Amino acid sequence: KKRTEEQVALLLSDIHGGEIVNKEEMFGLNEYNIDIFKKRLKFLENTLIDIIFNNLSGYKIRKLNLFGLGDWVSGRIHEELIENSDDVITQVFECSHAISEFIINLRQYFDEIFCDFVIGNHGRVTKDVRYKKKYVNWDTVTYKTIELILKNQSGITFRIPRSFFDVVQ
């Protein structure tokens, strides 16, 4: 009858918001666009809540740690992505809005949500790999937009480091 208190860690990576994969070009085997991303995010939300609160009855879970591991935007670093993606501004705002809604929906189930977001490579603003100022990246803009959207929401905190990796205990 005693319930162990635990935390949940959710890793969210390589969303590639704004990328468009045409079903006809994939012989009907695959398709991707912003609407499919939003449907998958809703499926993730529902599945996460179902697993945690319906299948893990021996645990008391109050905190969600959401780790953003980058590539939330498809970016503009490859010619193919330029041809097969929404413009990067649309990518940032569509992804920011969808993830903000996702976090708000999850907040009703958790006392606290901690968001720790690092950048990926697809959001970089130059084709060449840079070793300094890696945070100058469209992922950073996406993360900061989400943080701004949710700034008045209680129980949600953010850490958006300038490095491309982070360690959390």
Give the β-pairing of 156-159 and 59-68.
Answer: unpaired
More confident residue, 76 or 167: 167
Q: Provide the b/e sequence for 30-52 (b: ≥16 CB within 10 Å).
A: eebbbeebbeebeeebeebeeeb
C-alpha distances (whole Å) from 39 to each of 42, 45, 86, 103 are 5, 10, 18, 15
DSSP code, position 85: B
| Contact criterion met (CB below 8 Å) for 44 and 57 | no
Predicted model pTM: 0.91
Over residues 113-130, the mean pLDDT reads 87
The partner residues of 12 in beta bridges, in order of sequence, read 68
* pLDDT confidence of residue 85: 76
Predicted local distance difference test score (pLDDT) of residue 1: 66
